[in-house]
Amino acid sequence: MLNPLNYGRLEACQRLHAAGIVLETEKVWALNEWLVTVDNHVVSNEEWKLIDFPMISYKQQVPAPSMVEVWRELLGILSVNKRWYELRLIKVDDITQVGYWWLTECLIEFQNRINPADALIDLLIWVEQRKEEKSYD
C-alpha cells in the first residue's frame, strides 16, 4: 500500500516545479478530470491524484518525488564562508527537521509537521537557488 507521506504533497511538488527543478520520479500528481450528471446537468469534476508515472501524459501533471529521490539530489556537505556544513535529517516527536549544520550552528533548516518529504523539497529549492547565486565557496 502506498504511504503518501513518502512523497511530496501536491503543494510542495508544485513549488519544486515552479522553481524549475525537474527530477525523475516514480510518481506524479495528475489532474484527473471526469464528467458527472447532477440534476440533469453535466458537471465537470477535477481531482489531483498521486499515481505511478503514466505511460501517457495527463493534461496537467507534476512530478512527485519521494523522500529518497529528493535526498539523492541534496549536497551532503555545503561549504559556506570556509565552514563545512553537513546535511542532517532529524525527527523530534512529530516534527521533521532538515537542514545544514556546522557543529551546533545551523545554516538553514526547514521543519514540517505533516510530511517529511515536503521539508526535503523546500531544502532542495533553497540549495538550488543558492547554487544559482553562487553563494557557496
Q: What are phi and psi of 132, to 5 degrees?
A: -65, -35
- pTM listed for this prediction: 0.85
Contact 127, 70 (CB under 8 A): no
What's the pLDDT score for residue 128?
94
Q: CA–CA separation, 2 vs 126, rounded Å?
A: 28
Q: CA–CA separation, 126 vs 49, rounded Å?
A: 26
Question: Would you give the DSSP letter of residue 60?
Answer: S
- Note the pLDDT tens digit of each residue in 82-115: 899 999 999 888 888 999 999 988 998 998 888 8
- The pLDDT > 90 percentage for the chain reads 53
